[in-house]
Amino acid sequence: MTGAGGRPLIRHNDYSPLTPPPLGAWTPSLPVSVVIPAYGGQHRLDLTLAALAAQSYPSGLMEAVVVDDGSEPPLRLPDIRPRNTRLVRSTPGGWGIAHALNTGVRLAEGEVVQRLDSDMVICREHIEALMRWHHLTDYVVTIGGKVFVDEPPRTAAQVHAAVRDGAFDTLFDLANAVPSSTEATIRRLDGLRASKNPYHVCTGPTVSFRRELFEQVGGLDPRVLRGEDTEFAYRLAMSGAVFVPDMEARAVHLGLPAQRVDTDATVRVVAPYLAQRVPLRRDLRKEAGRRWLVPYVEVVLAVEDRTEPQVRAAVAAALGGSLPDVRATLVAPWDRLPEGRHRVLDDPDLELRLIHEQFRYDEGVLLAPAAPDLATIPFRYTGPVDVPLHRRSLEVMIRMMAEDRAGLLVVEFPDGRTARMERTDAVNRARLLAGPGEELAEVIERTHGVRRAPAAKFWPPSPSAAGPAAASASAGPAAASASAGSAAASGPEGKKLVKRLRTALRGR
């Protein structure tokens, strides 16, 4: 089964529809740039380049870009290296692995980018094993295997000869190598085919992706000094990418993993970066009252032709629910509101102007002319303004979707209207695969699944459970709309608002 452009249609992360050719039994055609960020460690870099120079992948289709991230003394290129190798310095104004990688990718010429750490020695078929998947489709991210060893007394010439001759195993004491925890996870989850969040194991030492995909998600975030690989992989996942580990792409990491040296410090250093940017790490967002750089849920409300009290009630319900990690996006033609002299009480856009002033300074609310492109917020709810969310509506919706990892939940109201809860990764995968005129929901049905449920599942009928707003919503959209409308005109809040406005105007 295929989507637009002949791309294979992959459900969740089950890449079983892809059948890679056996190693050595196919003809590669895609150029690859191996980008190696490096800071010091000249001898280890020499070994990395020596192994890279002995790859089975055609040398004419491969280049190496070594990015020196401010080493003192500066790094140099050794004699044994791939035929097409460049040494560049990180661009001024930044430092760190993410900054160095961005520098290297910008200068690289290959259609596929292979990240490789400067302390990795790879087997002869490593690049070939990962590249064969990229020849099958353009939305995979491939992950190589690795184990950790104490650096042995090997020369670059020894490494090159052993890798070239297929004697990789003779270089190291692999029987006493420290296994990678990510490989254990990969095996447990059927090669990540059964993984709910496969980006978790997409750590940096050896991973490859299309340059177009890299540019689409904005590259790595240079502000993330630790865990930059996981944060980048999360954004790749949100773009709809599929993660494919290939354990035939074997490698040895010279030196023990940082977690072995100081587990507590390693975890503590990474946690704040991921907490701000990876909403799916719910374990890192436990403090009440916090706001995060990337919210967990975006609630989109079309507020044109709605009253300010209606919108206030809807926003209060969205931001005051059991999920505190929410942003409200209010969509309207805000540019219709002039900043200069304008009518006030008889302003034809009075309600829109009041809404604008009510929320323009609220950090939890975004005012936008249209719903932003789905990027890094994992869930988006779009529903009617006149049906404020119940306190637990969003939480229950997401829990229902998690039961079968559905990509779309359609909520059906008694009056025939609907609301939608979307998973960002599913929507972006569907956009990639949808043909001309094809509904995204139809594609999501095939890649992630679509669920439908009545609104009563998310708006409980008991007024005592959530107060008046939820009670009116549980009675149905029509009742909720009438309730919100009357509040604007004659309810206690509406009367107080009119009184405050009159007092303010008298004081002018």
Residue 410 has what pLDDT?
A: 98
Amino acid 152: pLDDT:
84
- Other CB atoms closer than 10 Å to residue 267's CB: what's the count? 13
Note the CATH architecture for domain 297-489: Alpha-Beta Complex (3.90)
CA max distance for the chain: 91
In the prediction, which pLDDT does 89 show? 96
Query: Which pLDDT score, from 0 to 100, does residue 99 have?
Result: 96
Topology at the third CATH level for domain 31-283: Spore Coat Polysaccharide Biosynthesis Protein SpsA; Chain A (3.90.550)
Residues 6+ apart with CB under 8 A from 357: none
The model's pLDDT over 55-68, given as tens digits with 9 standing for 90+, comes to 999 999 999 999 99
Dihedral sign, CA of 50, 56, 61, 67? Answer: negative
Note the pLDDT tens digit of each residue in 262-271: 567 778 899 9
Q: What is the pLDDT of residue 3?
A: 67
Q: Partners of 36 in the beta sheet?
A: 66
Domain locations in the chain as residue ranges: 31-283, 297-489
Within this chain, domains 31-283 and 297-489 share the same CATH topology = yes
Look up tokens 């009518």; give the residue. 343
pLDDT at residue 504, rounded to an integer:
39
Q: What is the pLDDT of residue 282?
A: 93
Instruction: Check if the beta carbon of residue 141 is closer than 8 Å to that of residue 208.
Output: yes
Give the pLDDT confidence score for residue 462 in this predicted structure. 59
Amino acid identity, position 482: A
Question: CA 50 to CA 43: how far, in whole Å?
Answer: 11
Two tokens at 3? 């989507």
CA-to-CA distance for 250 and 368, rounded, in angstroms?
A: 48
Mind listing the pLDDT tens digit of every residue in the chain (508 residues)? 676 668 999 999 999 999 999 999 999 999 999 999 999 999 999 999 999 999 999 999 999 999 999 999 999 999 999 999 999 999 999 999 999 999 999 999 999 999 999 999 999 999 999 999 999 999 999 999 999 998 889 999 999 999 999 999 999 989 889 988 888 899 999 999 999 999 988 887 999 999 999 999 999 999 999 999 999 999 999 999 999 999 999 999 998 876 555 567 778 899 999 999 999 999 999 998 899 999 999 999 999 999 999 999 999 999 999 998 999 999 999 999 888 877 788 888 899 999 999 999 999 999 999 999 989 999 999 999 999 999 999 999 999 999 999 999 999 999 999 999 999 999 999 999 999 999 999 999 999 999 999 999 999 885 554 443 444 444 444 445 444 444 444 445 545 544 544 443 344 3
* C-beta of residue 144 within 8 angstroms of C-beta of residue 64: no
According to DSSP, the residues that pair with 243 across neighbouring strands are 141
pLDDT at site 134: 98
Q: What is the pLDDT of residue 135?
A: 98
- Please tell me the distance from the alpha carbon of residue 356 to that of residue 20, in angstroms, as a whole number: 54
Chain mean position to CA 217: 8
Supply the DSSP symbol for 148: E
